Amino acid sequence: MRRCKTQYWLLSLVNHCNIRYHMILYLCSDWILRKFICF
């Protein structure tokens, strides 16, 4: 619950500052997580 709230807060903050940077960061972390899960 706390982690979700923090993520939401960070998302809002980054979204407000720079949506493109957030998207790149999100896609990179998503790819890294998938790589660890799959391989």
> Quick one: what percent of the chain has pLDDT higher than 90?
0
Helix, strand and coil percent figures for the chain, each rounded to 5 = 90, 0, 10
User: Span 17-37, mean pLDDT?
Assistant: 74
Contacts of 11 (CB under 8 A, 6+ apart): 22
Rounded Cα–Cα distance for residues 2 and 31 (Å)? 24
Please check the confidence at residue 32 and state whether its pLDDT lies above 60: yes
Domain count, the chain: 1
Query: CA-based Rg of the chain, rounded to a whole angstrom?
Result: 12
pLDDT of residue 20: 72
Range of the domain at 28: 2-38
